[in-house]
Structure 1
Amino acid sequence: MNECDILVVDDEDFMRGAIIETLRRGGYSAMTASGAHEAIDLMTHRGFSLVLTDVKMPGMDGLTLFRKIKELRPETSVVIMTGFPNLQDAINVIKEGAVDYLQKPFPPDKLIDIVEQFIDVRKPKKETDFANIITDDAYMLQILEKIRLVAPSNAPVLIQGETGTGKELIAQALHNNSRRHETGELVALNCAAIPGSLLESEMFGAEKGSYTGANALHIGRFERAHKGTLFLDEISELSWELQAKLLRALQEREIERVGASQPTQVNVRVIASTNENIEKLVDDGKFRPDLFFRLDVIRISIPPLRQRKADILLLANHFLKVYCDEYDRKIDGFSDEAMAKLTGYDFPGNIRQLQNIVQEAVIETQSDCVGEDNIHLRKTPLMQDETSVQEDGSVSFKVGMSLRDIEKEVILKTLGAHDGNRTKTAEALDITSRTIRNKLREYRDEGQEA
C-alpha cells in the first residue's frame, strides 16, 4: 500500500510489534499508538480506513475509544481486540457499529482476512439497498435503521418472526449493505426443507465417494458463501449433532466436508432465522445454548403484518402493480370496500398470504378496480366440507375419505384451532414441527393454500 491506512492501538509493545509484522507480511503498512489518547491525537490530524484497538488499556479503554472514533471519524471501521474470555463488551460495541472483534491470541490469517475486507481507498458511500422491503411502519423503519448500523460488521445475526414476515428480505438487506456484497454472494439454506440425512453434506459439502451416490465432489453452502453471507433459514430445525458442527464452524472459521480428512477454511458471515421461540427451545433442551449465544449477537425481531396495519394497503398496491405487469392487466386500484376488508383482516400468513390474495384478485377481476368480492380471506387454510368441528372440539368425517385426507384434515383443523401456530399444533398432535412443515409444503405443491 502507498498510504498507511491502518492504526493499531495496544498498550503492549510485543502485541503492537506482532500485529505490525503480520500486516507487513500481508502487504499492509500501519501506524501504532500505545494508548487511546495517543490514537485520538493521531486521528485528529488524519484519517484511517481501519483501527484495530485493544479493550483493556490504562486510562481510556478501547470501548470508550471506539465511541470517540465514531464521533470524530464515523466513516472509520473499528475492530475490537480482547484477550479476556468474556466477550460481552466486544459484542455490545458490535451492536453499536464496530465491524468485528478478535479474541487474543488470534491466528495471523484471521487478522489478514479482516483487513482485506475492511481496508479501502475511500470509496464513495453507496446508497442503502433495502432489497424490496416496503414499509411506512415506525417499528419497521427502526429495523431498517438497525440494518444500516450493523450490516457492515461480521457479527452473526438472528432474525425472529412468524412465517411470511419477510425474514429472507431482511437477510438480503444485511448482505446488500455490507462489504461482503462486493466479495461474495448471499447463499440461503432452508434447514427445514432438506431431509436430515442430506443436510450435513448440503451445508458442509462432501468428498467424492463419501457416501452411496456421491460420484463427485459436492461443494456445500458454507464454501459457496465464502467471503459472502450464509443465510440459515429455520435454524431451529437442525439436529443436535449438526448444531455442534455449526458451532465449530462459527468458532474456528473452518468446516469439514463429509468424508474429508482435513478441514477447509471459510470466511463467512452467518445470518440465521427462526419462527419459533428459540429461548424456549434452549430451556427445553432442544437447542444448544452455546450455539444460541454464538448466533444471538445481533437480534432482529420482525413484527407480524397484523401489527403493521399501515403497511397493508402499501403492500397490497405494490403486489397489485407486480401482478398487473405479470398478467398484462390494467387495474387502477382497490375499491373502498376491498380496502376495508383487507385492513380489517389479521393475516395469519402475513405478507406471503397478502401477496397470494392480491394475485388471486388480479387474476379474477374483470373491471378496472378490485372489488370486495374479489378479495378472498380464508380464516382456516384448506377448510373442506367433508369434515366439521363439533362444539367439544372433536372432528367428524364422511365415510369413504382416504386416510391421507383424514390426516390432512386433522393437521389443518388443529392448525386452525391454534391460530396457525405450528409449534403448538405439533405438540397437540405429538409430531415434530418439521413434519408439520413438510405436510403443509405437500399441500401447497398440490395447488392448495397452506
Structure 2
Amino acid sequence: MITSPAKTNDLAASQTKKTPRLLLVEDDENLLRLLTIRLQGEGYDVTPSNNATQALRMMFNNTFDVVLSDIRMPGLDGLSFFDEIIHRYINLPVVLMTAHGTIKDAVAATQKGVFGFLTKPIDHDELRKVLARATQKNTTSDIGDWCKDIVTRAPEMTKLLLQAHRIAGKNVSVLINGASGTGKELLAKAIHRASDRANKPFVAINCGALPENLLESELFGHTKGAFTGAVQSSTGLFREAHGGTLFLDEIGDMPTSLQVKLLRAIQERTVRPVGSATNIDIDVRIISATHKDLQLEMEEDRFREDLYYRLNVVNLRIPSLKERFEDIPLLTNHLLKQSAERHGVKVTRFSSDALNRLGTSDWPGNVRQLVNVVEQCVALTQTPVIPLSLVEQALSELSQNWPTLTQARDSFEYQYLCRLLQLADGNVTRASDLAGRNRTDMHKLLKKHGLNAADFRGNKD
C-alpha cells in the first residue's frame, strides 16, 4: 500500500521501534508457559500455541516478526511447519528448538533456510542473541528500502519485487500487467526509486483519463497559440520527466493515432510540441501499465504491435489480492493503523471473525477496495475492536457500486449486438449495414463478445 509522503519517515521510525511480535510454538505446556514469561520479560509480544496447526491459523490473522518453534510435536512437526511458513511468508525468520538435536537435524534445517537451531535445555543467552538477530533481519529485509511502501509477505509478490529490483538498474522499458487496484503505479515508483534515475523526476499520467488532443499536449507539450485555449507554452510530461521516469498508466486506452507519435518519441528520443516545428531531445525511461490484454488489443487492431514490443521489453505481472491472500491480514492491520492515526480514532484491531471475513472475500477491487473497506469501518466503528457487522456492511455497499465505464460500455455493446443480430436474422452483412460498420469490424466485435451469428438465425422478433 501507499503511505502518504509526509508520514513515510514516521512510519519507518515506528516500525523500527515497535515491540517485536513473536509466535511461540511448543507442545510442552510447562515449557510453553515458562518461555512465554521469559520472552515477555525480554520485551517481546508473545503469542503462545501448543501445536503447529493452530499456529498456522494464528499466522493468517496476525503479523509476526519471528517464529520460535519446537521440532518434535504431535501432528505437524517443526520442520513441516517451517515448510508451510516458507511457502507463505518468504522473509519471516524461524528459529527451531529440539531436545533431540543432532547434526543431521541441524544441517537439514539450515539447508532449508531456518534462521536458527537451538537444542534443549535452552541456553537463555543463546536464545536472546538468535532472536535479536532474527528480529533485526526482519526489520531490515533483503528486499530493501526502495520498496518500503509495498506491504507484503506473499511469495509471489516477493518474487516479483526481487525481479523488479534486478531490472531496475537496467535502462529498459517495463510493462506492468495487473487488474485495477493492484498497485501498478506503486510498483513503478519502487522501480524508479531502485534505479540510477532515483534523484530525477517520476512523472505519471493516466492515458485513459484525457481525450486525444489533450493527452498529446500533456505528453509532448505545446507552443503558445497552438490551439484554442493555449494561452502559454507547456513543456509536456516527457520533458518534465527528463533524466527520470515517465509512467504511462492504462496504456491500453491510448488512441491508436497517438500511439504512432509515442512510438516515434521512444525510437528517436525526441518530442515535438504541438504547434512547433522543432524536435527536442529527451532522456526518459518508460514504464507503462495496463489491466487490458494487449495481445487481444493487437488482434483487434486497437494497439500497435511495434509499440507493444517497444514497451514490453520486460513484463511484470502483479497478482490480484485474491492470489496473495497471505497479505490480507498484514495489509488490513497496516491500513487500520494508518486510518486510525489519520482520523484520530482509538481503534486497535478487527475482531477475529471480521478478519476471517476479510480473508475470504473475493476482492474484485483488489487492494484499492480493501482500503475503502478499512476506511469505512474505521469511520463507523464505536468500539476499539471492529466487529464483523461493520465489515459485512462495507462489503455489501461496495458490491452495489456503479460499474466502471469500460464494464458499462462492454455491457451495452453486448446487448446491442444481440439485438442487432436478432433484427438481421443472424446475417452478418445486414447487421453490418444496420450498424454502419464493415463486415471485418463486425466479425471482430462478435469475436470479442463470444457471439455466433448462426445462433440468431430464425430468432427474429
For the aligned pair, the TM-score class normalised by the smaller chain equals 0.5 to 0.7
**Which residue of the partner structure matches residue 266 of structure 1?**
282
**Which residue of the partner structure matches residue 133 of structure 1?**
150
Say whether 1:293 aligns with 2:309. Answer: yes
1:204 shift after superposition: 0.5
Between Structure 1 and Structure 2, how many residues are aligned? 275
Say whether 1:142 aligns with 2:159. Answer: yes
Say whether 1:161 aligns with 2:147. Answer: no
Say whether 1:171 aligns with 2:188. Answer: yes
Say whether 1:277 aligns with 2:277. Answer: no
Corresponding letter in the other structure for 1:217: S
Q: Is the 8 A contact 1:338 1:370 kept in 2?
A: yes
CA distance in 2, matches of 1:177, 1:189: 20
Alignment of 1:388-427 (within 5 A): 412=403, 424-425=410-411, 427=413
Corresponding residue to 1:303 among 309, 314, 319:
319
Q: Is the 8 A contact 1:128 1:148 kept in 2?
A: no
**Pair 262,128 (structure 1): closer, same or farther in 2 beyond 3 Å:** same
Q: Is the 8 A contact 1:131 1:172 kept in 2?
A: no
CA distance in 2, matches of 1:298, 1:339: 36
CA distance in 1, matches of 2:167, 2:409: 30
**Which residue of the partner structure matches residue 258 of structure 2?**
242
**Which residue of the partner structure matches residue 40 of structure 2?**
none
Q: Is the 8 A contact 1:190 1:234 kept in 2?
A: yes
Q: Is the 8 A contact 2:377 2:394 kept in 1?
A: no
**Which residue of the partner structure matches residue 152 of structure 1?**
169
Alignment of 1:100-115 (within 5 A): none
SS at structure 2 position matched to 1:243: helix
1:383 shift after superposition: 3.3
Corresponding residue to 1:187 among 203, 214, 231:
203
Q: Is the 8 A contact 2:143 2:162 kept in 1?
A: no
SS at structure 2 position matched to 1:270: strand
SS at structure 2 position matched to 1:214: coil
- Runs of 4+ in structure 1 off by over 3 angstroms are 125-128, 377-384, 420-427
Corresponding letter in the other structure for 1:198: L
Alignment of 1:245-256 (within 5 A): 245-256=261-272
SS at structure 2 position matched to 1:262: coil
CA distance in 1, matches of 2:416, 2:398: 21
1:354 shift after superposition: 0.3
**Pair 299,340 (structure 1): closer, same or farther in 2 beyond 3 Å:** same
**Which residue of the partner structure matches residue 15 of structure 1?**
none
**Pair 169,428 (structure 1): closer, same or farther in 2 beyond 3 Å:** same
CA deviation digits over 1:35-69, x for unaligned, max 9? xxxxxxxxxxxxxxxxxxxxxxxxxxxxxxxxxxx
Q: Is the 8 A contact 1:276 1:423 kept in 2?
A: no
Q: When the two structures are superposed, what TM-score results if normalisation uses the length of structure 2?
A: 0.57
Alignment of 1:279-428 (within 5 A): 279-375=295-391, 376-378=393-395, 381=398, 383=400, 412=403, 424-425=410-411, 427-428=413-414
CA distance in 2, matches of 1:126, 1:349: 27
CA distance in 2, matches of 1:150, 1:173: 12
Corresponding letter in the other structure for 2:287: I
Corresponding letter in the other structure for 1:220: G
CA deviation digits over 1:322-362, x for unaligned, max 9? 11001111211111110111011011000000000000000
Q: Is the 8 A contact 1:129 1:176 kept in 2?
A: yes
Q: When the two structures are superposed, what TM-score results if normalisation uses the length of structure 1?
A: 0.58
CA distance in 1, matches of 2:268, 2:197: 19
Q: Is the 8 A contact 1:282 1:289 kept in 2?
A: yes
SS at structure 1 position matched to 2:195: coil
1:424 shift after superposition: 4.8
CA deviation digits over 1:162-202, x for unaligned, max 9? 000000000000100001012x1110010111122211001
1:428 shift after superposition: 2.5
**Pair 126,217 (structure 1): closer, same or farther in 2 beyond 3 Å:** farther
CA deviation digits over 1:391-441, x for unaligned, max 9? xxxxxxxxxxxxxxxxx7xxx4xx79xxx967854642669xxxxxxxxxx
Q: Is the 8 A contact 2:248 2:287 kept in 1?
A: yes
1:127 shift after superposition: 4.8
Say whether 1:233 aligns with 2:249. Answer: yes
**Pair 128,268 (structure 1): closer, same or farther in 2 beyond 3 Å:** same
CA distance in 2, matches of 1:306, 1:350: 7
CA distance in 1, matches of 2:409, 2:244: 32
Aligned residues: percent identity? 38
SS at structure 1 position matched to 2:147: coil
Q: Is the 8 A contact 1:204 1:219 kept in 2?
A: yes
Q: Which has the larger radius of gyration?
A: 2
1:283 shift after superposition: 1.1
CA distance in 1, matches of 2:379, 2:143: 39
CA distance in 2, matches of 1:379, 1:348: 13
The alignment yields a C-alpha RMSD, in angstroms, of 2.4
Corresponding residue to 1:207 among 223, 243, 247:
223
Corresponding letter in the other structure for 1:273: A
